Chain A
Amino acid sequence: MIISRRDLIKTSLAAGTAASMPSIIRAQTAPTATRTVRVVKSGDLRVFDPIFTTAGISAEHGLAIYDTLFSLDSKLTPQPQMVGKWSVSDDKKAYTFELRDGLGWHDGTPVTAADCVASIRRWAEVAPGGKLIMARAQDISKKDDKTFTIALKEPLGTLIDLLTGVATPFLFIMREKDATRPATEQVTANIGSGPFRFNEALAKPGASFTYDRNEKYVPRSETSDGFSGGKIVKVDRVIWENIANQQTAFAALRAGEIDYQENLSSDLYSAVESDPNLTLQLLDKSGYVQLLLMNSLQKPFNSVKARQAMLHLVDQEACSRINTPDPKYSSIVTSMFGNTLYSNDENTGWYKKGGDPEQAKQLFKESGYAGEKVVILQPTNFVGLSNVALFLAGALRKIGINAEVAPSDWGGVITRRSNRGPVETGGWSIIVTSVTGATLAEPLTTPWLTAEGDKGFTGWARNDEYEALRAQWGDTATLAERQALARKMQRVWWDFAPQVVLGQGVYPIARRKALTGLIGMPIALPMWNMQKA
């Protein structure tokens, strides 16, 4: 068969048209560029179920597609969200919650009280706040389709705070059929009642996730305030692009291919500021607090003197410069509650600018330190923490401590940290980690503020006096009561020194100036209210 040149051209044109047909169709149905916001988050969404995991990125996913009974406003005060009306009995033991009108799942069915009850029960399987509620609860049940009650055996002053808290996992309301699964079994249906719908067809794990505006969402009438108030969505679509390389993400931001970038390296701040189309914005003012955790079950940190030595040794200014080179974005933390409402100066006499190596050396000597190996886990894929680990090893060696680092990726670190044994059997001595600053205001739900010994969180420090004080937190009713209790707790805390603070950093995001209306809150970026010029 002979194909003429004309036939070849005709065939090629036809093939080209056919190949581009889907894009023509898509162009007619996809939202326009100004109604689509492309963001690069600080991590990759790996787990969809925000109850199954404590990962912050999953909480952000949850915030988009699910709704909550209560939400925190910009002052971190709980406000009703799905709840329309609520009341508490005079003896403070019976709470009644009535859902507001217009709540519906993305699959078209209405949200009911049964969904809420099942969601609370599932959340309470894993969340410390939920466990506390269940321990006090006599009954949690629905009264009718829109009303449910929580009956308590004894009053719990912080009940509404616990239902609203910022410590992950958040209490997101799921469909009853999803919420009746065990909390250790992941829900992957991604059907919520929130202001965004998860676009399953466009989901590309590891590459991008697409969230479409939920046209049927009925926002509250109040003005948007933090996570609370009216969740009014002003764009049609938000796409989470997973660009692993920061330089590439920043180049894409400059070229206008994305609108928003988190986790920007501080050496790029000046480049953002010099670009007329870009700006830096500090959304999460509570930032992250870097902590040093010690293994209290093994030598040398099974001695309180050795732990106190670390409190004196650490030079917070130096650690902060390593983590957050621009001093404008970092601060010193001497309170166990970080820089939150409960921050106080009780028992902080150990703090000395630049650290006090001599005092640390003396305390190690008093602890009976006899040259035991101190292993610092070094998370190599987090540059700041990795460098802090190296710096700490150097500081320890300078005062005669036999310190070494054990490099590994973060996955290796969090696996090894569960090993309670001595370093010779794969255990560890020190871990450096980073926690959301706002969670330090929640001692009932934040694992880093517990001292339950070997039943507790990594580090396994135990102090019964502190735990007794912590247990009182649930029964406080006012801010003043909590602040007074916070001082008492801190007095004990720094005496038994279960951890050391390495400093606090806040991290601005970079965005194109055309993107406005971003709401600044800890942990998660609300995707409502934002708009593009």
Chain B
Amino acid sequence: MTAYILRRILSTIAVMAMVGIFIFLLLRLSPGDPAAIMAGDAATPQMIAGIREQLGLNDPLPVQFLHWAVGILGGDFGGSIFTARPVLLLISQRLEPTISLSLLTMIVSVVTGVVFGMLAAWRVGGVFDRTLAAFAALGFSVPVFVVGYFLIYWFAISAHWLPVQGYQPIEHGLRLWLVHLILPTAALSFPYIAYFARITRASMLEVLSEDYMRTAAAKGASSYSMLFHHALKNAGVPILTVIGISFAHLISGVVVTETVFNIPGVGRLVVDAINNRDYPIIQGVLILASGLYVLVNLAVDLAYTLIDPRIRY
């Protein structure tokens, strides 16, 4: 097991290196000049040329790559071309909002989605199952930003119960933190609840028709015991796989929600950096995101062993 984990962590480094090279080349070969953007609309060609020289953008690509790669190996992700702030500082400022939103969304989505899916499977074809099917169709088809605007209109503008936008760090107080995350979490959870509910329902239906479930019922096991102890544990592997993949997607895909609710997260940091051609930020975030993606998948693989003792690495 230890050897397996070490192997996976080493592969993470290899993946990050490949992502680094790919992203570096992609950014440099795509159109756009940070010096021209920095200098502004009325800048003279001489002004832009001076900034390019100052930023080292005229250096050959291998030299630029070497500077960056050496920095990364020493733990220095460089500074923003525009604000000169360290990339790691900028990312760390944006990490808390994104992680808060993603974690809350996952907790709400997993708890609600799995419970809904189990209940629908338990009474398959019933009113709840059919209602859930309609809810799931809605969850898959209505974009998150539409849900977001509806929630803002109802709960922030009309009722004045919750703030329209913004984020308060947890150090400003738990209540403030939570109050600012309720609407974005609700909007972002909508499709994930639908997704997890459908996966759980399908997985549970398969397990519920197994012989050992009939045996458990014949032995007089309670509904609770049958659902949670016998069925859910055996249906858990596909559900966990989907949750793991969704979490990785969620972290990289919260940008729409961050924009609608003005949450200063990593997603918006990257979008702004792409618009500005702020190469060090884009490279830094993507390198870290690729590492995170691989680690989440590793965590999911390890969690299989807890659910299914037959799985060994």
Contacts and interface: CB of A to CB of B under 8 A. Distances in A.
B13 interface: no
Interface string A403-426: 000001111101110100000000
A435 B170 CA distance: 43
Contacts of B119: none
Interface stretch (B190-198, B213-221, B268-276): B268-276
Contact of A241 (B44, B51, B262, B269): B262
B82 A47 contact: yes
B153 to A, nearest CB: 8
A56 to B, nearest CB: 8
A22 B172 contact: yes
A242 B32 CA distance: 23
Contact of A55 (B40, B44, B83, B93): B40
B173 A248 contact: no
Interface in A380-438: 381, 408-412, 414-416, 418, 433, 435
A424 B286 CA distance: 34
Contacts of B31: 408, 412, 415-416
A374 interface: no
Interface in B4-35: 31-33
Interface in B236-272: 259-262, 264, 268-269, 272
Interface string B151-177: 011001100100111100011111110
A409 B173 CA distance: 39
Contact of A248 (B45, B152, B264, B277): B152
Nearest to A56: B40
B54 A245 contact: no
B51 to A, nearest CB: 5
Interface residues of A, number: 61
Interface string A35-68: 0000000001011100011111010000000000
Given A23-B171, A53-B40, A251-B152, A204 B262 contact: no
A248 B262 contact: yes
Contacts of B108: none
B84 interface: yes
Nearest to A58: B40
B296 interface: no
A184 B51 CA distance: 5
Interface centre among B43, B175, B262, B277 (most CB of A within 10 A): B262
A262 to B, nearest CB: 15
Given A205-B83, A252-B165, A16 B41 contact: no
Nearest to B264: A207
A182 B172 CA distance: 41
Given A23-B173, A184-B47, A433 B264 contact: no
Nearest to A244: B259
Contacts of B276: 46, 411
A46 B45 contact: no
Contacts of A56: 40
A457 B277 contact: no
Contacts of B262: 241, 243-245, 248-249, 252
Contacts of B37: 46, 410-411, 414-415
A188 B83 contact: yes
A150 B32 CA distance: 41
Interface string B43-61: 1110110110110000000
A244 B276 CA distance: 14
Contacts of A514: none
Interface size class of B (residues with CB under 8 A): 35 or more
B85 interface: yes
A417 B39 CA distance: 14
B269 A206 contact: yes
Nearest to B162: A255
Contact of B268 (A54, A185, A244): A244
A310 to B, nearest CB: 21
Contact of A188 (B53, B84, B165): B84
A20 B170 CA distance: 8
A257 B260 CA distance: 15
Interface string B269-313: 100100111000000000000000000000000000000000000
B95 interface: no
A205 B175 CA distance: 25
A19 interface: yes
Contacts of A6: none
Contact of A16 (B50, B54, B174): B174
B32 A415 contact: yes
A435 B54 CA distance: 27
B38 interface: yes
Contacts of A415: 31-33, 36-37
Given A206-B268, A412-B32, A257 B48 contact: no
Given A19-B173, A46-B276, A411-B37, A183 B82 contact: no
A168 B40 contact: yes
Contacts of A53: 38-40, 43
A52 B82 CA distance: 11
B149 interface: yes
Contacts of B149: 247
Contacts of B272: 44, 206, 244
Interface in B75-125: 80, 82-85, 90, 93-94
Contacts of A184: 47, 50-51, 53-54
A476 interface: no
Given A16-B174, A184-B53, A54 B164 contact: no
Contacts of B42: 54, 167-168, 435, 439, 446-448
A22 B48 CA distance: 44
B171 A22 contact: yes
Contacts of A332: none
A52 B38 contact: yes
A126 interface: yes
A80 B36 CA distance: 33
Nearest to B167: A207
A254 interface: yes
26 contacts: A19-B171, A20-B172, A20-B173, A22-B173, A46-B37, A46-B38, A53-B39, A54-B39, A54-B42, A55-B38, A55-B41, A128-B44, A167-B42, A182-B50, A204-B93, A204-B264, A206-B94, A206-B269, A207-B94, A244-B268, A251-B164, A255-B160, A257-B163, A257-B166, A414-B36, A414-B37
Given A52-B38, A252-B262, A448-B42, 16 more contacts: A19-B170, A22-B172, A26-B172, A46-B276, A47-B40, A47-B82, A56-B40, A183-B50, A207-B94, A244-B259, A244-B262, A248-B259, A249-B165, A257-B165, A416-B31, A446-B42
9 A-B pairs with least C-beta separation? A54-B40, A184-B50, A207-B264, A55-B40, A20-B173, A54-B42, A23-B173, A415-B33, A23-B172
